Amino acid sequence: MNTTIMIVEDSKAIAKQIRDWIKELDYDVFSIVNTGAMAINKVAKDHHPDIILMDITLEDRTSGIDVAKRIHEKSIDVPIIYMSSGYTENLLKEIKETEPYNYLLKPFTKRDLHVAIEVALRLHAKEKELEQYKNHLEFCVEERTLELKQEIETRKMVEDSLDELYKELAQEVIKVHNSEKNFRALMEAIPDVVYKVDEKGCFTYINGAIKNYGYDPEILIGKHFSKLIPTEDVDKISRDKVLTKYEGVETGYEEQPKLFDERRTGQRTTKGLEVRINVKDDNKKDKDSLVAEINSSGIYEAGSSLNDVQFKGSFGVIKMREKDFSGSVGVVRDITERKELEDKLKKQEEELRELNRNLEMRVNSEIKKRRRQEEILVQQSKLAAMGEMIGAIAHQWRQPLTALGLAVQDFQDAYHYGELDEDYLDKMVKSSMSQIQYMSKTIDDFRNFFKPEKDKSSFNIAKTIKEVISLISAQLDNANIRVELRTESVESLTIKSYLNEFMQVVINILHNARDAVLQRVRQGRISSENRVVSIKINSVNEKILIKISDRAGGIPENIIDKIFEPYFTTKEEGKGTGVGLYMSKVIIEKNMNGKLYAENSGDGAVFTIELPRISEL
């Protein structure tokens, strides 16, 4: 469908001139109005134009700028191009507030109008693309936000489960403490450091795993836990030092500080506290410290009153007062290798992200270049096809126009000789209408050929090629070229694909064959009986083969491998674009999942099209 344009202009002469230019530029005139009220009323209906050409000063003394504002207030998305014979600073300021798509200063030319319209259409299309992209990004952000919430909830559940496990472990350690032998045997078998400290933070027990760090367990008994931590790190995990910095500050779950001997939980629970531990082992001279993770839980002495106990899960959780606190038990696990791997993984991930960003930029750049090239080639191919079709229309109309001209002249003769009666008029009207209907059908056929297709449809190859031959028959007849079509059973030649694109491919190949024959005619190297183009259609297994051949001497061997390249042509300058065969190959092999190739056979060239066949629906 063509672009529709509404003209809002108080000068009838200017409006008429713009209307004529619009039609010449192959746009459709939506309507012509000369007042702001009429413009608003037209646009407010269900169907509105694609572009509005708005005069600044209108017949009903309204301003085109005010009309544009009222249209925008109705949330009608229509690009507006202003027209005016002059401007001032204040006028330009008002115009900018309505965000117009262009501005034309009277008097302007048809080319100025064409450029303004095309710029407005492309800007409007880009704005729609950006709006869709924005909506897509917002949707992705919402989805990712929901995923993050779910991840946080899952993590909280896991940590709660771990909390329960740590509590159970602490309670089990207390029970095992009553049996010193079993307790020590168990603790010595654990590869991680297991300890118990009193309410002041001094070791009352530590298992043999501490020897891996270069310490004697017996010497550490009675020493403060900070003995294991580098001096400069002690203040970073000390409750008294850290919490004073956060006084009166609200922190989220992830940002809250993790402390040794945690008390904010009410049970002095420490989870996932990462600290550096001093190393005294001579075998690890390359390291003076390592990274460890501490998990611990407070120990409370249960009172004799049953009212002090509430049950939760499989272990009794004691509801204690601070004076019942007797210390903590915990586990120290060496996570140095894990942290090194995590740091290495983060570095590799960042390098990979950087590589992906660079690769994505290069890929996007190449894709954009390829798309621009393909768009240019498609446009050139369409323009070339349109030129050929206009020539075909001229040939198709020549005969009926001659017949209509003779009929008009015959009216004058009939009037002079007194033959202008009702029977004569009826006969001439029927004859003229027959010619007009033929011309109208020709226009419909060519318009259907150029109609854009988005969806595939089922069509018969043989019938379609006959329609193509009919479309360009006048051009072929004018060149004294006949077409021989040979085909097998029509019912077995059905495919599902893009009809108009297939027709364009056949037309391109037939036009090339015609040009090759005419070139041989101009050189005096072809006889009249060889001015033939043969088309043979048959099906082999699940494929349909279409062979289009001529007798024009064939394609030189030194260029036959180049004829499907873009911009390659053997025609004289100005008579060929070099994109017809390239686009034909793209259509057949990329859009229709087939093959297109050329070869020489006998005294001419043969173009073969292979397409997948389907059964008749």
**Sheet holding 28-33: strands in order across?**
28-33, 4-8, 51-55, 80-84, 102-105
3-state secondary structure 71-106: HHHCCCCCCEEEEECCCCHHHHHHHHHCCCCEEEEC
Using a CB cutoff of 8 Å and minimum separation of 24, what contacts does 580-584 make? 580/381, 580/384, 580/385, 580/508, 580/511, 580/512, 581/508, 581/509, 581/512, 582/377, 582/381, 583/377, 583/378, 583/381, 583/504, 583/508, 584/504, 584/505, 584/508, 584/509
Tokens of 555: 């394609």
How many CA atoms are closer than 13 Å to the CA of 90, on its beta-carbon side? 0
- Find the largest Cα–Cα distance for the chain: 141
For residues 476 and 532, what is the distance between their CA atoms, to the nearest angstrom?
10
Q: Say if strands 457-460 and 494-497 run parallel, antiparallel, or are unpaired.
A: antiparallel
Long-range CB contacts for residues 24-28, cutoff 8 Å, separation at least 24: 24/110, 25/110, 25/113, 25/114, 25/117, 26/2, 27/2, 27/3, 27/117, 28/2, 28/3, 28/4
Give residue 606's pLDDT.
95
Residues of the chain with pLDDT under 70: 46, 173-174, 176-180, 183, 238-268, 281-287, 301-324, 371, 373-400, 402-403, 406-407, 434-435, 438-439, 441-454, 489-492, 571-578, 614-617
Which residue reads 């909390």 in tokens? Answer: 163
pLDDT of amino acid 307: 40
pLDDT of residue 306: 36
d(CA 332, CA 272): 10
Q: Which pLDDT belongs to residue 102?
A: 81
pTM over 0.85: no
| pLDDT (0 to 100) of residue 309 | 38
Instruction: Residue 517: name the closest of 507, 509, 508, 526 by CA.
Output: 526
pLDDT score of 2: 83
110: how many CB neighbours lie within 10 A of its CB?
A: 14
Residue 187 phi/psi, 5° resolution? -65, -40
173 close to 179: Cβ distance less than 8 angstroms: no
- Residue count (the chain): 617
Give the pLDDT score at 305. 41
Cis bond before residue 452 (omega within 30° of 0) = no
Scanning the structure block, which residue is given the tokens 């003076």? Answer: 288
Q: Is 419 helix (H, G, I), strand (E, B) or coil?
A: coil
Burial 302-319 (b: 16+ CB within 10 A, else e): eeeeeeeeeeeeeeebbb
By CB neighbour count within 10 A (0-12 exposed, 13-18 middle, 19+ buried), where does 71 fall?
buried
3-class SS of residue 202: strand
Q: Which of 566, 606, 559, 561 is nearest to 583 (CA)?
A: 566
| pLDDT attached to residue 246 | 58
The residue type of 260 is: F
